Amino acid sequence: MKNIFQKFQLLGWPLYSLVAGGLTTLAFAPFDLSWLVFITLAVPFYLWNKLPAKQAGISAWLYGLGLQCTGVSWIYYSLHVHGSAPMVFAALLIFLLCCYLSLYTGLAVYLVNRFLPGKAALRLMLFYPASWLVFEWLQGYVMTGFAWMQLGYTQIDLPLSGFSPVFGNHAVGGLIGVCAGAFVLLIRYYRNQKYKQVGLTVILPVLALWLAGSLLKTVSWTQEYGEPIKVSVIQGNIPQKDKWKLHMKKPTMDLYRDLSLAQKDTDLIIWPETAVPDYWYRVVPYIKQLRAEMERRDTDLLLGIFVKNENKRLLNSVLNINGEAYNKRHLVPLGEFIPLRFLIEFFNKFVKIPMSDIASGEEDQELITAAGVPVGISICFEEAFARDVIKDLPEAKLLINVSNDAWFEDSIEPHQHHAIARMRALEAGRYMIRST
């Protein structure tokens, strides 16, 4: 093993860390090479256990940088293609965001190596996974959070996802770390006299985890509620580049109305995020016309639209045609609000994203009742945060997410977003309906 590590050093641990992080993206949707994450995490685990604290922290930061740069590069479309930001400025902004997000990975490993010296088995199978779990959780909270490339999402179709309804997605990420650490220990003690002893000690707990996960996937954690309902999801297929053009307003609204009226014998119709390309107070006659038609059919209609609050600030909302509303609580940094207000003027010089400085809705909002069912609604980015979705439980019996993934064109973002939605549905034990 000493010779192997010397070869690693010769080629450069920074390069291995960066490449391992980049390859980890292949474990996520749409590539779905779920098993790959155990290898791409085992490689840096091996390095981190050998390196001093400072170098291990840098290595972990580089791993995170590779993961984030390949995993969230789709932000480029919203900034450059649709936000008109200069190419260099958009790329720089994304790189800085990735550098920031990678700090959590770096700190997770640095602190373990700095303050938790001990046997390799403890580091690899306990300290690294536990620290990873904690800092992945922090990444979803600090500065409103950006909880996207979390390792647990890679396991949605594998046995470890069975732990999600019980412990959540972060715990699944920690268990991935346990498995990766076990893999490193097996390699480390290969051809060692203690190999069989270590092998059994390591393999049995991992097998137990996978078996337990498989069994948990067979458990039905919730009970059916009410009678089945019929739902229609409407997609106008309006190109993002045309959506906010003035001459497209009426054709877009007419299209959504006509598609909705064509739905027969349905209990609930759902439009995507900001499907109505205008403010509510400007389209009141249109809304009243729809309401009258839906009432005649005894159908609920949820539509995405911008409204204004009492302070004349915009809100990204979902309205039930009967008058109920949900206002988005968790806004997208740089897309819907600027984290540091004094940066708005500077930011707006380079990026022209429509409605990029809006207000957030109240934390505690009444659930909308649609088709007789209390529903928990999330708008776009919000469903990446388990805490935002779970907040509506257990009262919410159905989850609905509306989004506008057209911002990201034909990138990997819509596929990642769908996988995240699946994880939220699994955690909550609820059906999830998506309209995007």
* pLDDT over threshold 70, residue 142: yes
- Token digits of residue 1: 């093993």
Q: How far is CA 48 from CA 184, 377, 407, in A?
A: 11, 41, 38
* pLDDT over threshold 80, residue 350: no
Catalytic residue among 50, 179, 273, 413: 273
In this predicted structure, what is the pLDDT of residue 193?
62
Q: Element (H or E) spanning 254, and its range?
A: helix 249-261
- Token digits of residue 130: 């536990």
- Token digits of residue 415: 């596929």
In this predicted structure, what is the pLDDT of residue 202?
83
In terms of pLDDT, which residue wins out, 330 or 194? 330
Partners of residue 408 on adjacent β-strands: none
pLDDT more than 70, % of the chain: 90
Average pLDDT of every residue of the chain: 90
* pLDDT over threshold 60, residue 363: yes
Catalytic residue among 179, 380, 383, 427: 380
Domain ranges of the chain: 2-217, 231-435
Confidence bin at 180 (pLDDT 50/70/90) = very high
In this predicted structure, what is the pLDDT of residue 76?
87
CB atoms within 10 A of CB 13: 23
Q: Please check whether the domain covering 231-435 is classified as CATH 3.60.110.10.
A: yes
List the alpha helices (DSSP H) in 116-238.
120-122, 128-139, 164-167, 169-188, 195-217
CB atoms within 10 A of CB 267: 18
Of the candidate ranges 12-16, 134-138, 226-230, the one whose mean pLDDT is the lowest: 12-16
Whole-angstrom distance, CA of residue 44 vs CA of residue 42: 6
* pLDDT over threshold 70, residue 250: yes
* pLDDT over threshold 70, residue 369: yes
* pLDDT over threshold 60, residue 259: yes
DSSP-based three-state secondary structure for 90: helix
Whole-angstrom distance, CA of residue 284 vs CA of residue 418: 33
The dihedral sign for the CA sequence 152, 223, 398, 262: positive
In the residue annotation, 273 being an active-site residue is answered as yes
List the alpha helices (DSSP H) in 51-154.
53-71, 75-76, 87-115, 120-122, 128-139
The answer to whether the beta carbons of residues 51 and 113 sit under 8 Å apart is: yes
Catalytic residue among 328, 336, 383, 397: 328
In terms of pLDDT, which residue wins out, 342 or 223? 223
Backbone angles phi, psi at 376, to 5 degrees: -95, 120
In this predicted structure, what is the pLDDT of residue 78?
82
The dihedral sign for the CA sequence 327, 333, 336, 341: positive
* pLDDT over threshold 80, residue 357: no
* pLDDT over threshold 80, residue 318: yes
* pLDDT over threshold 70, residue 355: no
CB atoms within 10 A of CB 320: 20
Say what the alpha-carbon torsion angle 147, 91, 345, 311 is, to the nearest 10 degrees: -30
